[in-house]
Amino acid sequence: MAVGSGGTSSRSFVSEIIFSRLGNEHLLKASDAAIVSTSGRTAFTTDSYVVRPEFFPGGNIGKIAVCGTINDLLVSGAKPLYLSFGLIMPEGYPVADLERVIDSMAEECRKADVKIVCGDTKVVDKGGCDGLIINTSGIGESLRDYTEPYNIQEGDAVILTSDVARHGMSVMLARGELGFDGEVLSDCACLKDVFSAVENLNVKFARDATRGGVAAVLNEIASDSGKGFLMRETDIPMDENVGYLCDMLGFDPLAVANEGLAVIIVSEEDAEKALSNICACENGQRAAIAGRVEGKNVILETSIGGKRHIEMPAGELLPRIC
Amino acid sequence: MAVGSGGTSSRSFVSEIIFSRLGNEHLLKASDAAIVSTSGRTAFTTDSYVVRPEFFPGGNIGKIAVCGTINDLLVSGAKPLYLSFGLIMPEGYPVADLERVIDSMAEECRKADVKIVCGDTKVVDKGGCDGLIINTSGIGESLRDYTEPYNIQEGDAVILTSDVARHGMSVMLARGELGFDGEVLSDCACLKDVFSAVENLNVKFARDATRGGVAAVLNEIASDSGKGFLMRETDIPMDENVGYLCDMLGFDPLAVANEGLAVIIVSEEDAEKALSNICACENGQRAAIAGRVEGKNVILETSIGGKRHIEMPAGELLPRIC
C-alpha cells in the first residue's frame, strides 16, 4: 500500500492514479508545459494547501485546493479556465487516501468546467513532510476587475455570500483536540454559481474570506481604499451551533477562516437584486447584506446596539487551516 | 531569528523579505489573482522543488525553482513571462537562508526578464516539513511548438546544450554522505540565451533533461514518437571529473539529473548553425551534436565502437534532486 518507494513502477502508479481521474488532452500529453488558448487579459493565481487533518466534514485537501484556487480567480472577476497542480507526498502515503483526494479534485474541476492541464508529483522521504501538500495555480480569462479597492464608495453594500466561520470550526473539531465530539460541516465550495449570479450587476470589489476570515478582508480593503465599513451583527449569517462553539472557545467568528464565502461589495442600487440572485444559488442560500461602506473605520454594530472596531486578526488563530 | 512563530508581525516580516526582493506592480497589489496581458496561445507549467540540501555549489532551491520553471516554458517553445511562487517553510526557518533563496529567485527573474506576479506563503509546524518547499508555476507566450514528438524525423540532429550529469553529482557530493570531499558545480541555469539562439532555426522538439537525465528524455521521445536515436558516446559532452565520479559510484551519467541542459532536436540542415549559435551563449559553451534520430531504439555507440541500449532509468537514482 505504499506509493513512492521509488522506481519506475511506483512513479507510473502515481501517474495512473492521477491521469485516470484528471486526464484531458493537455494533461495526458505530459509535456513540460501545456499550451492553451487565452484571450488578451489573463488572471493568474497560486496557493499551497497544507490543511490538517487532510479529511474533514465537508471536504478534504484536494477539494480545498481546487475550490480555493478557482475562487481566487472568481473573486478577481475572471472566468476560471485551467489549473496546474503540484503534489508532494511522503513515501508510504496510503493509496486509498490519495485516490479520495484526487477524486475530489476531479469532481470539483468537472463541476466548475475547469481543466487541470499540467502537474508535477514529488515523493519525499517520510521525514520530508507529514502528509499531502498540494499547490494549485490557476489561470482564467479576466472579464471584469473586482480587485480594485478604489472602485468602492460610501453606501455600497457588503454581501457575505454564506454563513461565517464554518471551515475553521470544522477543521478545529476534526482535529479532535477539544475533548468533545460533534462535527461542523466546512463551507468548502467553489463559488462559480454565486459569481455567475452577479456578473451583470455593479460589483465593485470581491475577495474570499479565507485565513483571517471576514475581519481580515474588511480590514485589508479599508487599508487599501481608505474607506471603512459599518457591519450589523444581527445581519451576519451564522449557524447557531457554530456561534455557540465560537463563544465557548473564545473565537471571534468574523476572524475564523471560511472556504466558501466571498465578501462582495455591490453598488447600493444593485444590492437587493444581487442578494436575491445569490440566494438562489446552491452555494449562496445563506447570503446576506451584512453592512455597508461607511466612514473610515471597520465597525460592528452589535446586536444590543453598541459599536466596536472589527480588528485585523493579530495572529494565526488556527495554523494549517487551508 | 525565527520566521513563522505566528502572528501578524512574523507574517508581515515574511512579506517584507519577499516583497522587497521580488516586488513589482502585480505582486505588490497582493490581490487574489494577478491580471496580466497575454496573447492567444499561452504555455502553462508547474513544478514543486524539494531539493536537499537547499544550498549546493552553483545554486540553491530558489535558483532551481525559477530556472526550472522558466526552462519548462522555453523547451515548450514559449517566451517566459510570469511566474507564481508558493513557499512552504517550517517555523523557525533561518531568516538569512530565506533571504539568500529569495535573492537568488529575484536575480534569475531579473536576468530572464520574467516577473513573479503572485505568491503564497505557508508556515507549518516544525514536523510539517523538513525545510523549504517551493512551487513555481509559469505562463509564457507560446510562439513555437517544441512539444510535438511527431515532428521529428530520421536524420534530425540531437543537440545536448551542455555537459551531462553535473547537477545530480553536485547535490550528491553536497550531501556529504560519500565519505570524501570535493565539489561539483551544478549546471543550474536558465536557458533563455540558448533558446533565443535557435529561435529562427528548424527546431523539431526540445525537453530539459532533469530527473532521469538525458536517458529518460530520449526514451520518452522514442516512446511518444515511435522513432529511435543513435547517440555517440565520444560526442556526449562531459566534464572529466564528473565522469570519474560517475564511474567510481556506478552511475550512468546519461541517467543523472541536469538543471541547465536541454535536449534539442534540430533538422539535419540546421544542425551546425544551431550548434554554433548555442556555443556562443553563456549557457551553451559545452554544447554538442551528440547523436541523431535513427531507427526505433535508443542506442549508444560506445567509445570503443560497440553498441548498447540506453535504458529508461528504472528508479529514482537520487531522491530530492530538484
Average pLDDT rounded to a whole number, residues B205-232: 96
**What are the cell numbers at A162?**
454564506
Fold of B149-309: Phosphoribosyl-aminoimidazole Synthetase; Chain A, domain 2 (3.90.650)
pLDDT over 80 at A229, yes or no: yes
pLDDT tens-place string over residues B233-282:
999 999 999 999 999 999 999 999 999 999 999 999 999 999 999 999 99
The pLDDT score that the predictor gives to residue B177 is 82
pLDDT level of residue A317 (50, 70, 90 thresholds): low
Find the helix packing angle between A95-112 and A8-22, rounded to 10°.
30
Taking the C-alpha atoms of residue B61 and residue B71, their distance in angstroms, rounded to an integer, is 15
The pLDDT score that the predictor gives to residue B315 is 66
pLDDT over 70 at B4, yes or no: no
Nearest by CB: B86 against A29, A47, A128: A47
| Contact status of A32 with chain B (Cβ, < 8 Å) | yes
pLDDT level of residue A72 (50, 70, 90 thresholds): very high
Average pLDDT rounded to a whole number, residues A104-117: 96
Taking the C-alpha atoms of residue A219 and residue A228, their distance in angstroms, rounded to an integer, is 8
B214 Ramachandran zone, left/alpha/beta (phi>0; psi -120 to 50): alpha
**In chain B, residues 197-226 whose CB comes closer than 8 Å to chain A:** 207-208
**What are the cell numbers at B148?**
510535438
**Which among A171, A157, A155, A137 has a CA at the least distance from the CA of A57?**
A171
Residue B30 DSSP SS3? coil
pLDDT level of residue B27 (50, 70, 90 thresholds): confident
pLDDT level of residue B11 (50, 70, 90 thresholds): low
Q: What is the CATH number of domain B2-142?
A: 3.30.1330.10
Nearest residue of chain A to residue B85 (CA atoms): A46
The pLDDT score that the predictor gives to residue A232 is 98
| Contact status of B313 with chain A (Cβ, < 8 Å) | yes
The interface predicted TM-score (ipTM) is: 0.94
Whether the CB-CB separation of B11 and B89 falls below 8 Å is answered with: no
Minimal Cα–Cα distance from B319 to chain A, Å? 7
Q: CATH topology of B2-142 equal to that of B149-309? A: no
pLDDT level of residue B231 (50, 70, 90 thresholds): very high
- The residue ranking higher by pLDDT, B177 or A269, is A269
pLDDT tens-place string over residues B156-172:
999 999 999 999 999 99
DSSP conformation letters of A172-219:
HHHTT-SS------------HHHHHHTTTS-EEEEEE--TTHHHHHHH
Whether the CB-CB separation of B203 and B145 falls below 8 Å is answered with: no
Minimal Cα–Cα distance from B127 to chain A, Å? 7
Q: Could you give phi then psi for residue A78, rounded to 5 degrees?
A: -105, 160
Domain boundaries, chain B: 2-142, 149-309
- The residue ranking higher by pLDDT, A302 or B9, is A302
Nearest by CB: B119 against A46, A120, A123: A46
pLDDT over 70 at B285, yes or no: yes
Q: What is the distance, to the nearest Å, from the Cα of residue B190 to the centroid of all Cα atoms in its chain?
A: 7
Chain B residues within 8 A of A122 when measuring between CB atoms? 48, 50, 320
pLDDT tens-place string over residues A128-156:
999 999 999 999 999 999 999 999 999 99
Taking the C-alpha atoms of residue B47 and residue B137, their distance in angstroms, rounded to an integer, is 6
> Of all residues in chain B, what percent carry a pLDDT higher than 90?
83
- The CA distances from residue A241 to A170, A211, A244, A253, A254, in Å, are 11, 21, 5, 12, 15
pLDDT tens-place string over residues A214-225:
999 999 999 999
Choose the weakest-confidence range: A74-83, A199-208, A303-312, B311-320: B311-320
Q: How many CB pairs under 8 A join A and B?
A: 219
* Interchain CB distance below 8 Å, B35 and A7: no
Choose the weakest-confidence range: A78-87, A185-194, B17-26: B17-26
pLDDT level of residue A16 (50, 70, 90 thresholds): confident
Taking the C-alpha atoms of residue A169 and residue A162, their distance in angstroms, rounded to an integer, is 15
